[in-house]
Structure 1
């Protein structure tokens, strides 16, 4: 595990390191059987799914710092799992789904949310302790009267906070100041993960971007980049495989994310920001909005014909991309999910195949793929 020192205390370098440790020690810490990590279900990504011996499902959400909304997050996971009921061969859904929140400290708001919540949620508080020779993970259940404490050893790799990884530059800090709190947190987490991956990794900054690789020469290899457009909006690029990441050939891929863990590989941009992708996304976003309004209001008039005509052209173009295994943008997926069959049949057309995209990539998972591909290319 990667540990960093902050003041007189120690912590996991990233939330991913915390998750790695808990996943590897589920049996010893909680008596649980590992099932799935970063599991996508119905628009949500659960940190860890585990089972008790009787096949009862347990959902664990981990935070490496204070978070005021962990109860709401677990509620969304519960709803998604309860509605879809995935992995039914392994899980007994006749039993209630158990929810566990794991953090270094809990905000007062967490206890208020929990107090008036009808779901059962257990709060576990952890700390990283150190003596002269070893490091320990101490965890206690705040919901028990005796606050039972468990402690196991952490097999670690020491890393002082500023020893290997320099703090963000003034340029990056200035860029982050214009971002939302979710964007700031996401960028800093990825930066920490990338720079702590390998001692050869460097941060190369310019006026509008921050690249990560082994130097900045013609033979250097890159794996990630934060690019800020003219409005200060951050865009993530990762060096991934061509053909929707299925090829061994690597190129610079533009990534869409909702900054909540969901991500999509939208296309490949050798340099710059991807002006064509931007223009296409903007146009499609407007068309998707108009078509959704038409369908919702059941508005079939002469004026809507031009929108349907463009809608069919867009669908045909996007379908060809699917057939060629090309990546789709977020807006292209949205357009294909519009159910316009009622209007299509009225206008004398055949029934459309309405696509349902029930899977996004994990942003953390794509970063890990880019890191591994980078290491192989060195």
Structure 2
């Protein structure tokens, strides 16, 4: 089922969606820090507040493409018309300096907007990020352009429950919602801004008794770094992921069909091969009349599947469902047996689960082994535990990408 794109909307719906998109950017609270949900949201904010943050610069063009390179912001100084390149990062990036110097070379070769930019002057290279890696400083010292490279570190802090963008010893208001903030310290008015026309239509198709819990779960999922929300063309399926492609990382999916509403989560899975981060898509079958979005709901079965869950295949006492996928994971697993089945004979999955649940990397001590041998046969059955595990898996996967 394809995901909805703007081309599928009517003219009036597209106009409404465009208006909603303008107020859609939001902040997320993760690991005790407030961040922009994506680099795009950071760029939007900087562009909207450019004159206040950089009163001595003129923004010439955002996302300027040149010689297979794309610089975030091409600028000039007001006083001398000196060329300035600004690169924005929403997280620490070890390759910043080489990226800036590549942009510098491409800009000097083509010299765009030469009628207003003086290319006889040195190109000023600015990196803006929440943190800078030690390698950034090493690369800067080794660069012959060191004197023209500047690092500006920013932070987002709460001031009287309102977010402030702090950079160069100054603070600026951020009129964005904060998702995932403890104790719901953001207003409901701001939270509603993050609803696109796509998700509004998806919610309208849900049973009334599910909508409040869905909104709470959605807020939690959208509070994770790099998560995008994609809705199907029928408004019956919503995906939370980096992208919908097969190789894109995914966190959760919700389907709403004639067979019911089912939540799918990407969780650690059994694998026979040496996969670094073994995860698979699991559909969660709940106890009768349980809400598919409430953290207190009871999970009866986990179904490892790339398609829909067919309840006709649900095992019973005479059929324990001992069918496995090609990687060795049981297709149907009792909730309290999930950890046992996922890790049985699969060392990578075992190590991953120990890290996610206990924060421990090998070597693993005897106390942890003792805990694991008991805990793995008594996997919690509440839905909230599985949602939390999926979120931990998601963030572990993103951090592994950054550190590789």
The normalised TM-score by structure 1 is: 0.44
The normalised TM-score by structure 2 is: 0.41
